[in-house]
Amino acid sequence: MADYHLARVNVTRGGYVRNESQRREEQRVCYELRLLGHPIREVARLASEELTWNVSEEVARRRIEAEGLQRVQPAEDALRSMELDRLDRYLLATEKIAYEAPDGPTKLAALDRALKVQERRSKLLGLDAPTRTDVTVTEADPRDGELAAMIRAEKARRNQEEAAV
């Protein structure tokens, strides 16, 4: 167990102010305990035991969220950057094929592929506007179904009469 000493600086709402290294350690411990599957209440209790100072449930929740953002966001940005680089290479290759193609169908196929790459790139960057859908909601009266059934039955009866004549 690590030997930490909490700076005892009173604040207005009670508790103590943690210095930056204590916050980072608290964040790491809480996050790792949560990764092990402990509920927030248990994370707070175990972190308090390990760190030798009190960690409330709310503090544990905030530390877990902060650590998650710090760990996930850089990986997400790196993955997005790598995907954009890959799409740029594909786009250059399709444009080269389109310009050097000896016949029309090959040019058109390469240009079509380039447009698909550009669509994917736009989606990845969030450049496309969301799709708008107009929805109309009408309330159905239970009697409407009965009326429709009566109309179908009458049409069927008339068709049988006409077929018999």
Mean pLDDT in each 10-residue stretch from start to end of the chain (165 residues)?
47 61 90 91 92 90 88 82 92 92 91 93 83 76 80 92 83
Q: What's the confidence (pLDDT) of residue 58?
A: 92
CA dihedral 91→93→94→99, nearest 10 degrees, is 120
Q: What's the confidence (pLDDT) of residue 91?
A: 92
Contact status, residue 17 vs residue 7, Cβ threshold 8 Å: yes
Phi, psi of 16 (to 5 degrees): -135, 150
* Whole-angstrom distance, CA of residue 81 vs CA of residue 124: 10
Q: What's the confidence (pLDDT) of residue 165?
A: 74
Q: What's the confidence (pLDDT) of residue 11?
A: 37
* Whole-angstrom distance, CA of residue 18 vs CA of residue 15: 9
